[in-house]
């Protein structure tokens, strides 16, 4: 399976990305259309899309302000997980953030999402602490970060 990374195309990609987000996260965590649109249009926002053939396999939304980058979300459809799609998306996002001047990347992930925590740690992210009741359903999140080379 060949994965191709490309830029987000607002007109043609938005609905597909919103549907993927709903498939990747339970309703309490998945973004509404308005929330996703807001994150995609933040100052310094960037979205990388991964395609397998002509089908979107996943995407990553990041943003930056000065020297700090932020991973808003990484969504990979179940059929493409553990195939390197997330790693490709993250690598490209980190490259773009570094090119924009970011020296550190931050994110939050649920403290009970074992596979996500393992993914982030595998890629050099470390916990900076716990944010209590971070998610709308009251779940806690780890605040994680990584210094970029």
Cα separations in angstroms, 4 against 50, 78, 99:
6, 17, 20
| Ranges under pLDDT 50 in the chain | none
What's the pTM?
Answer: 0.94
CB-based contacts of 68, cutoff 8 Å, min separation 6: 102, 103, 104, 105, 106
Q: What is the pLDDT of residue 28?
A: 84
How many domains does the structure of the chain reveal? 1
Interior CA angle at 33 toward 30 and 37, to 5°? 105
Residue 15 falls inside a structural domain: yes
Residue 117 inside a domain? The answer is no
d(CA 128, CA 132): 13
In the chain the first and final C-alpha atoms are separated, in Å, by: 30
Structure-derived torsion over alpha carbons of residues 79, 4, 20, 24, reported in degrees to the nearest 10? 50
Determine the Cα–Cα distance for residues 122 and 13; give it in Å rounded to an integer: 29
Note whether 69 and 145 are within 8 A (CB). no
Residue 46 lies in a domain: yes
Residue 21 within any structural domain of the chain: yes
Where residue 48 sits, what CATH number does that domain have? 3.40.630.30
Q: What is the C-alpha separation between 18 and 28, in angstroms, rounded?
A: 14
What is the pLDDT, as a whole number, of residue 8? 97
Residue 116 lies in a domain: no
- Give a yes or no: residue 64 inside a domain: yes
pLDDT of residue 122: 97
**Domain span including residue 33:** 3-106
56 inside domain = yes
Question: What pLDDT shows up at residue 93?
Answer: 98
Would you say residue 61 lies in a domain? Answer: yes
């Amino acid at each position: 399976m060949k994965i191709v990374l490309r830029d987000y195309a607002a007109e043609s990609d938005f609905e597909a990305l919103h549907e993927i987000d709903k498939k990747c996260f339970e309703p309490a965590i998945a973004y509404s259309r308005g929330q996703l649109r807001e994150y995609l249009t933040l100052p310094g926002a960037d979205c990388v899309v991964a395609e397998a053939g002509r089908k979107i396999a996943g995407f990553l939304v990041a943003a930056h302000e000065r020297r700090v980058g932020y991973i808003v979300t990484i969504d990979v459809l179940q059929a493409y997980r553990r195939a390197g799609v997330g790693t490709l998306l993250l690598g490209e996002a980190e490259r773009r953030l570094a090119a924009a001047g970011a020296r550190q990347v931050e994110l939050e992930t649920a403290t009970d999402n074992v596979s996500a925590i393992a993914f982030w740690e595998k890629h050099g992210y470390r916990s900076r602490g716990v944010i209590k009741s971070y998610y709308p359903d009251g779940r806690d999140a780890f605040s994680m970060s990584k210094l970029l080379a």
